[in-house]
Amino acid sequence: MGIRVMLVDDQVLLRTGFRMVLAAQPDMEVVAEASDGAEALEVLRATRVDVVLMDVRMPRMDGVEATRRICGGDREREDGPRVLILTTFDLDEYAFAALKAGAAGFMLKDVPPDELLAAIRAVHSGDAVVAPSTTRRLLDRFTPMLPTPESEPRHKELEKLTDREREVLLLVAQGLSNGEIAAKLVLSEATVKTHVGRILTKLGLRDRVQAVVLAYESGLVRAGGGGL
Higher pLDDT, 136 or 185: 185
Mean pLDDT of 26-55: 94
Distance CA 87, CA 89 (A): 7
Amino acid residing at 209: V
pLDDT per position as a tens digit, 148-176? 444 444 567 788 889 999 899 988 877 77
Strand partners, 107: 86
Q: Which residues of 20-48 are buried (b: 16+ CB within 10 A; e: fewer)?
A: ebbeebeebebbbbbbbbbbbbebbeeee
* pTM recorded for the entire structure: 0.67
Local structure of residue 156 (DSSP, 8 states) = G
Query: What's the pLDDT score for residue 221?
Result: 66
CA–CA gap between residue 142 and residue 45 (Å, rounded): 34
Looking at residue 18, its pLDDT comes to 92
